[in-house]
Structure 1
């Protein structure tokens, strides 16, 4: 019983028993067993709001994640793999889809927009250091590791700044680490919460950005500038509604990753010590021990393969030091922990652990399941970064007086900003089986040739242009092969190859 019931029991035991029974009845009203604290179940709760929880731990978590990204090989590999699967080597591929009033894609305009965007992608950021794929990979890594990343869209002429791209498009992106928007900046009077100014509906209207990175500030300088929400990109890992600041992807596995690192280091050191141990010489029993100046001096024994001991003193014996290192169960334990890490990061165990020993069916199943996670991450990245960057660039490209963009008269202006966004696709384990499956789907009108090209990470229009140029060249130079889509003059391409 509780302390109060114990005290009441002294005066009225019946009253105390009734109170205890009522308390137990109240506990039973909690319909789920998980809601009842017990000796084996702590029932830990989180009653704070989303912003309170992030404010209390967000900065600490991102700093721990950064340390792991700098010092832990597995953490580095996780982030590297996410870069490869979400953004890839060529960045997010963007295919403009402007259409006419009849619904037909205007290929010439789409190709012109794509060419201009590719030129701008060579120097998209204000520092003139990164190409667009490089910048996107850095942005993704920052968002995953730190929980969020910001980007200021710089439009038009700005004092003391020139846009790095040379085609006359006055648009650049300034990527910012989350440190530039301070967690500590809160002002209830103007509705500023953790550096973000919101209205009564919870919409962010302004971002308060430090002029310098906090680590680079000298003295007590703490000045900020206000950037309107329309000029700022905010890509964050949000886990709860009404959450303003993002949380690190590692938030649920930080302890596990740290433990894995410490455990592996301990096992590695133990294995090194075990490898350095050789043998010992046993000198009789304790009764033969001689101390002081008369004790036998330490002698060196030169080791060599196949050596034998022929100079042992009377009563001496040679013993080998045995060690159970390296630990034969370490790999299994480590892999089990990595499976838990994969479950907490939308990653796949095989890619994180670099363990590809499964059968074709198991690897295929893992790829299929992982592909949906990759698509979710790609959609998140495109919606928060790639799409607004492309649309704002195109808006400024329309104002480019140096090389104006010509719009055809039959363009449906509502479709000017339409585009298809896609990142790296699911890799093929068996290309022959995959190709046959695609051919069957296209023959059954369940897919298109463009879908097939995109599944290989290629631009369908570019593939067709290259294919047509190749076929025309082969026909012109009498090099028709079995891959020609339509043999000329009744010739059988396979027979021509044989001859």
Structure 2
């Protein structure tokens, strides 16, 4: 404190305390220019808590995002691209990894689990309308557009419900739009906030779910039922700590997307108007002709046409500067800003794939990390809980009982690898050569290579083994399987009918193999 404040404190401590706080605030403003509001800097602030901010804007953002998804092509394209990069056509791939007590993967049991999970994936939801990849894409789209999505684990026998899957697994998912958990449901005494009931630590213990969609209810709008957290999935986009409800992916670019849509519509209308040729007839001054005799002349246009004008008349066209030559550049600049706010890439959103191999690959590499983040978010919030609940209920399958191997380490029963679509290849040859070099240098595995192509490594190995065995049984020598078990004489005899190019290729393979053996020695 200063000497003045010390003196004031002896007379009025509260006054001295307020002066000291004001001085500290003033010093803070002097230290950071961004904290000071000026003519050119608005210094907008958000002092509300995370839940207060979402409560004030979340529902409006959700409804605006839905309107854009229904009416704006660019918004539709952003969500479509996120579906392709996060979930993909085959959905999130799940590879079970059960192990024995020595840490070895039980391949046969893992294949059996994958087969059963694939059968259940044909009809995983309570309606029986969607396959698992379809349901995952819808869930992802809802979570990105609306900010969140919910799902109920429907376990075991439930009155009036016959699980749609025909494999006997007593488990289905009830996917719910966020409207089913009302923002307006708040009860301080019961610790219910925005439809979520929490305990003293902020942990959600119950979700209060409407019996029907609020837009379809008649009379009992807020009649809800509590569902325990252990039976609910909640996949949301959270931007702040302590935030209970998610916000739309479009929250930061919504006004930009709306402006782009309005601007493009205005330019299209202007271009349509300018496409209709218009002109005027100039007639000089009023003293040159009788205004009462002025009429409208119908002029027919055609190749080589001529027309006669009255004395003092002249024809002038109405020139339009549409379409705007700067429209594309302006629109692309806005799309780059929109891509930055959605974890998307400009090229995929704008469908603009110009540039060299290096520049396109650089963009793919940078975008791949964003895709991995979104995939991890989706797997942790949706795919992993779904698979684990399915496996838990699959052990109760009475139609086709699941037998656990005696050597299984039960602690690894629920272990699995989850992955979505991988980074696409621009130049397959360069990508393949790069993977071969990493595998040769023990910096990568063949399984990683297979997953990088979106394939199941175990399935690739099985198919490859089957092909190699067939080729060798029929003495078919291929470029990637020269079959070292065959002798030189047999190999020469089997190639008598081959073309000269095939013989040369096999000779090169033998030379490479011999060189490799010399290097090993």
Structure 2 vs 1, CA of residues 413 and 280 (structure 1 numbering), >3 Å: closer, same or farther? same
1:289 to partner: Cα distance? 5.0
Cα distance, 1:83 vs structure 2: 0.2
Distance in 1 (alpha carbons) for counterparts of 2:101 and 2:304: 91
In structure 2, runs of 5+ residues without a counterpart are 1-18, 504-521
Measure how far apart 1:24 and its partner are. 8.8
Identify the match of residue 301 of structure 2 among 303, 310, 313.
303
Q: Show the counterpart of 1:6.
A: none
Counterpart position of 1:279: 279
Secondary structure of the corresponding residue to residue 215 of structure 2: helix
**Number of the residue aligned with 2:369:** 372
Q: CA deviation at 1:279?
A: 2.9
Q: Which residue does 1:451 correspond to in 2? A: 448
Q: 1:330, 1:371 → 2: CA distance?
A: 30
Secondary structure, in 3 states, of the residue corresponding to 1:252?
A: coil
For the Cα contact (< 8 Å) 1:481–1:494, is it kept in 2?
A: no
Q: Which runs of 4+ in 1 moved over 4 A?
A: 22-26, 492-497
- Following TM superposition, by how much is the alpha carbon of 1:494 offset from its aligned partner in structure 2, in angstroms? 8.5
Deviations 1:340-395 (A, max 9, x none): 10111100000001111122111111100000000000000000000000000000
Deviates more, 1:61-70 or 1:318-327: 318-327
Q: How does 1:249-398 map to 2 (within 5 A)?
A: 249-292=249-292, 294-296=293-295, 298-304=296-302, 306-398=303-395
TM-score (norm 2): 0.88
Q: Distance in 2 between matches of 1:150 and 1:291?
A: 74
Q: Partner residue of 1:71? A: 71
Show the counterpart of 2:192. 192
Please list the CA deviations of residues 201-250 of structure 1 after superposition, one character each: whole Å capped at 9, or x if unmatched: 10000000000000001134431011000000000000000000000000
Per-residue deviation at 1:480? 2.2
Q: Name the structure 1 match of 2:459.
A: 462
Aligned to 1:141: 141
The gaps in structure 1 that reach 5 residues or longer are 1-19
CA distance in 1, matches of 2:56, 2:314: 63
Displacement after TM superposition at 1:486 (Å)? 3.0
SS in 1 for 2:212: coil
Matched, 1:182 2:179: no
Task: Please state how far the C-alpha of 1:456 moved relative to its aligned partner.
Answer: 0.3
Paired positions, count: 476
| Distance verdict in 2 for CA 1:351–1:191, change over 3 Å | same
CA contact (8 A) 2:238 2:247 kept: yes
State the match for 1:213 in structure 2: 213
Does the CA-based 8 Å contact 2:477-2:483 persist in structure 1? no
Superimposed CA distance per residue, residues 405-452 of structure 1 (whole angstroms, 9 cap, x where no aligned partner): 111111111101000000000001111100000000000000000000
1:478 equivalent in alignment to 2:475: yes
Encode CA deviations 1:111-135: one digit per residue, 9 max, x unaligned.
0000000000000000110000000
Of the candidates 408, 412, 415, which is equivalent to residue 415 of structure 1? 412
- What is the correspondence of 1:70-109 to structure 2 with a 5 Å cutoff? 70-109=70-109
Which segment is superposed worse, 403-412 or 243-252?
403-412
**Alpha-carbon distance in 1 for matches of 2:179, 2:495:** 64
TM-score, with structure 1 as normaliser: 0.92
Instruction: Tell me, yes or no, if the aligned pair for 1:280 and 1:321 is still in contact at 8 Å.
Output: yes
Inter-partner Cα distance in structure 2 for 1:157 and 1:288? 96
* Partners of 1:124 and 1:165 within 8 A in 2: yes
- Mapped to 2, the partners of 1:467 and 1:366 lie a distance apart of 33
Conserved? CA contact 1:27–1:36, under 8 Å: no
SS at match of 1:265: helix
Q: Using the alignment, how far apart are the partners of 2:453 and 2:328 within structure 1?
A: 35
Q: Tell me how far apart the structure 1 counterparts of residues 270 and 241 of structure 2 sit (CA, whole Å).
A: 47
Deviation track 1:139-181 (CA, whole Å, cap 9, x = no partner) reads 0000000000000000000001100001100000000000000
How far residue 281 of structure 1 moved from its aligned partner, in angstroms, is 2.7
